[in-house]
Every structure is written in C-alpha cells, then in structure tokens.
Amino acid sequence: MLSTPVQLTQVEISPQTSGIAVGETVQFKATGVYSDGHSVDLTSTVSWSSSPQGVLDVSASGLATGRQLGTATINARSGSINGTGTLTVSAARLISIEVAAGKTTMPLGTAQQIIAMGTYTDHSARDLTNSVSWSSGADHIISITSHGLADAKAQGAAIITAMEHGVSGSVSLTVSPAALTGILIFPHNPTIPLTSSLQLTTLGSFTDGSTRDLTKSVTWDVDNNSILGLSSTGNATGHKVGSATVNAAFQGTLGSTTVIVEPLISTSYFTNNSDGVDSSLRITNPGDDEQKLCAMVYVFDQGHQMAECCGCLISWNGLRTLSLKNDVAGNPLTGTHLVAGSIVLATADYVDNPSCNPSSMTPTGMARSWITHLQAAGLKANALTEEPLSQSPLNPALSSNLQAQCSFIQQLSSGQGRCSCGTSH
C-alpha cells in the first residue's frame, strides 16, 4: 500500500491583527501547517505582500513598516497556499522632545524663549513650544510661562522640562549676576565755556533694573582732544571752540555724549575822563594754533545801546592797541560824545571772514585783553594801572544779537558808528 505525501495545507500569520503608527515597524511570522499535523516556520520563504498599496511596506522577511494612515491586509503565500493578517496604521507617534535654549546662562533679570521640538515615529519634527506643558525645577530661580518664556529671578540653576503625551525633554539653565546693559553720561550733551572744566559722571544700567555709578570704573575717551581735554577720571576741559564726542566704556558696553565748547566774550566798563587823559584797550592773540583772529569790538553807551562796532585783525602773537577816546568811543552812531559805557569783545574766525566784518562772525579762538589807565597820583605825578576784561560765555543768542545790532549800525550810518582799530605790533 502506497503512503500519501505530506502536503502544506495552511499558512498562519502572527500576529493576526496589529496596529502601529506611521514610521513604526512590526515583524510578522508565517507558520506552515502540513497534512500530517506538524508545522514549520516559513517566514523567510513565503512571498510577502500587502494591499492596498501605500499603507505599508513589507520586506521579504515579513517586516512591515507603516507609511500612511489606513488598514492593510498582510499576505504570506507559499505556492497555492495563502495566509492573511490585518495591520492598522495610525498617525505618527511622538517619541522624543528636545528642549533648546539660546543661552544656557542667563544674567539676572533677563528673559529668553525656550523652544521644544518633538520628533515622531515617521522621523518628522514639529515645534511643540506652545502645546507642551512647561515646568521649572526651581521656580524661584527661573520661572517659565505656559508658552516657554523663561525669566531669571535669582542666581542659581534650574532644570526646565517640557512634557506632552508622557514624553518629556529638559534643559539645565544657570542664572548669573546681572549684566550691564547701558551707560549714560551726565550731564547729557553739555555745553562748557572755553577754558572751563566740567566733571562728567556715568550711570550704568543692569539687567535686573538696578543702576550703579561707574564714573571711576569706565575707560574715558574723546574723539578730538584739540577741542576737549579729558582726564582719566572724566574731567573735561574746553581747549577750542567746537564739539567733541566723549565715550565711556566698561565691560564691552559704550556710552557717548557730545560736549560743546562755546566761545567767550570779554567785557569792560569805561568812563572818559574830562581832564583829557586817555586809556587804551590792548588785545593780543596768544593762540597755540598760530592762526590769525578777528577781534570784534562792540561799544555800548550808558543806555546799553550799541554805539559803535568794528572788526580788527590780530596776527598770531600780535598786539593791537586801541585808544579809548579816539578809536573805541570816538565815532558813536549818534554823534554824541560817550561819557561812559561798556566794551564787548569777541574773537572770530579770520579765514571765513578776512575782512573781519563784525556783523557776520564765526566765534572761535581766544584773545587776551586788558585796559590800561593813566591816572593822576598826586601833584605832577601819574599812575599806570591795568585791568583785564572779564570773561563770560558767548552763547548763540548773544552772538546773533551782537551781529544784528552791528548790521543795523552799518546800514543806517554813513561812516558813523564804526570804531577804528588803532595800531598793531
């Protein structure tokens, strides 16, 4: 009697049903059941396939990978025998969260945005900053808002954690001492008279809202030391009419201000003696730049009305002498002899105004001026005294007023109101 050959009667797939997320895998196993009742592992020999296409990929060894949402049938065929299983592919699953901070060290009082990036089973990444649950391991050191904004409240360290669907990520942050954010120089954009000095001070602002006097800590610098002298402690001295930028630097932070050095005017009062004795106005130009200057002379009467004006060239180191009676007060606009009055003297740029026109000047430089008096000291004796002119700042308003009044005199008079410049040496 002949024996019946043993034949494959069934292919069984395990697991029969399964579910994975997009990007995940599951290993299927194919077991062959034969007519004599024994079984054999056919996983590596059967032909694997799935339908519909696109939901998943199945390798020759039965490894299935989810590709898109849906449900697919798994087929394992050996000859004419086919086994089937079912696999459902769901949305990609979050597998990790990376928490990132722009700076792991935060100065006290600062804030920064923390970012949470999620990685999914399909290898995609998504910004989860506004959806995760944020927490701080030390809220008194660093607090964190529901949108991931971290605020440095006290020095120390804290761990910031982001969590979603049971997956978490964290970053460790440290709060350092408050950092300098800005430097202010006081007074701001000051004006100082020529030859005068002014102590500048600085105030530093820090990230925690505090301020501190940094005057002795900053490094001082000026962009034009011919106009402004500046000491290492911030003491500024006007050397020349103009403006200069002063900088104060500390820990990589810079503060700046502009210092304007304004010109000076010299003023003196006079009285014409009835005994015929004259006085002299003397002006010299000792400037260290060896430049010619215009000495602009403005003469006022007792009623403070301008009576005369003129411009006189003074060469470097030169001396100009003006007779009070003949040059300064000898040609008043009204034609009336000046018994008393005042003299205002300003020095101006000669290059821009070579005619030394006193109705149009650019104040600059500094002259030395004084009045020489010859006074009776007794019977047949005279005494010679000298009195320097007093100095005060020449601001733009006063400068403009002097020029306007002088221009008025020049337009109205036919020679009167114009003083003369005496002699020069």
Q: What is the pLDDT averaged over residues 14-32? A: 96
Q: Which of 171, 126, 179, 133 is nearest to 155 (CA)?
A: 179
- The CATH class that applies to domain 181-262 reads mainly beta
Report pLDDT for 246. Answer: 98
Nearest to 265 by CA among 372, 395, 355, 352: 395
Residue 278: pLDDT band (50, 70, 90) is: confident
How far apart CA 313 and CA 347 sit, in angstroms, is 10
Gyration radius of the chain's alpha carbons = 48
Q: Evaluate whether 72 touches 87 at the Cβ level (below 8 Å).
A: yes
Amino acid at position 167, single letter: V
Q: Give, in degrees to the nearest 5, the angle at Cα 293 between 309 and 311.
A: 15
pLDDT at 380 over 90: no
pLDDT at 381 over 60: no
Residue 101's Cβ-count burial label (10 Å; 0-12, 13-18, 19+) is: middle
The alpha carbon dihedral of 376, 371, 237, 398 has a sign of positive
Note the pLDDT tens digit of each residue in 316-333.
989 999 999 999 998 999
CA of 375: how far to CAs of 265, 275, 302, 343, in Å?
A: 27, 10, 22, 20
Mean pLDDT for the chain overall: 93
Percent of the chain with pLDDT over 90: 85
Q: Measured at the alpha carbon of residue 413, what is the angle toward residues 410 and 415, in degrees to the nearest 5?
A: 90
pLDDT at 271: 85
Distance CA 151, CA 202 (A): 28
DSSP element (H, E) containing 364: none
Look up the CATH superfamily of 8-90. Answer: Immunoglobulins (2.60.40.10)
Give, for 42, the enclosing helix (H) or strand (E).
none
Percent with pLDDT over 70 in the chain: 96
Q: What is the mean pLDDT of residues 74-89?
A: 96
Listed by start position, the domains of the chain span: 8-90, 94-176, 181-262, 264-424
Question: What strand order describes the sheet that includes 25-27?
Answer: 25-27, 63-66, 56-58
264-295: b or e for each residue (b if 16 or more CB lie within 10 Å)?
bbbbbebebbeeeeebbbbbbbebeeeebbbb
What are the tens digits of pLDDT across the range 338-362?
889 999 999 999 999 999 999 999 9
CA 13/CA 111 separation, integer angstroms: 57
pLDDT at 415: 80
Can you give the pLDDT at residue 406? Answer: 96
Token pair of 146, please?
């529901």
Average the pLDDT over 386-391 and give the result.
92
pLDDT by residue (tens digit) across 43-69? 999 999 999 999 999 999 999 999 999
Q: Binning pLDDT at 50, 70 and 90, where does residue 377 land? A: low
SS3 content of the chain, % helix, strand, coil (to 5): 5, 55, 40
pLDDT digits 0-9 by tens, 100-135: 999 999 999 999 999 999 999 999 999 999 999 999
Question: In the prediction, which pLDDT does 379 show?
Answer: 53
Tokens of 161: 């954690």
Angle at 317 between CA 420 and CA 326, to 5 degrees: 20
| Residue 273 main-chain phi, psi, to 5 deg | -70, 140
**Average pLDDT of the segment spanning 300-310:** 94
Section 219-244 average pLDDT: 96
CA-CA-CA-CA torsion for 115, 120, 126, 130, nearest 10 degrees?
-60
Task: Compute CA 79 distance to the chain's CA centroid, rounded to the nearest angstrom.
Answer: 80
pLDDT at 322: 95
Q: For position 349, what pLDDT does the model report?
A: 94
Q: Which CATH number fits domain 94-176: 2.60.40.1080, 2.60.40.1930, 1.10.760.10, 3.20.10.10?
A: 2.60.40.1080
Q: What is the pLDDT of residue 194?
A: 94
Task: Decide: 18 and 85 in contact? Cβ < 8 Å.
Answer: yes
pTM of the predicted structure, to 2 decimals: 0.73
Closest C-alpha among 137, 138, 174, 178 to residue 156:
174
Using CA atoms, how far residue 48 sits from 19, 29, 236, in Å, is 18, 10, 90
Residue 1 CB: number of other CB atoms within 10 A?
Answer: 2
Q: Is the sign of the CA dihedral 207, 208, 209, 211 positive or negative?
A: negative
Of 311, 282, 308, which Cα lies nearest the Cα of 424? 282
First to last CA, the chain: 156
Same fold, 94-176 and 181-262: yes
Instruction: Identify the pLDDT of residue 90.
Output: 97
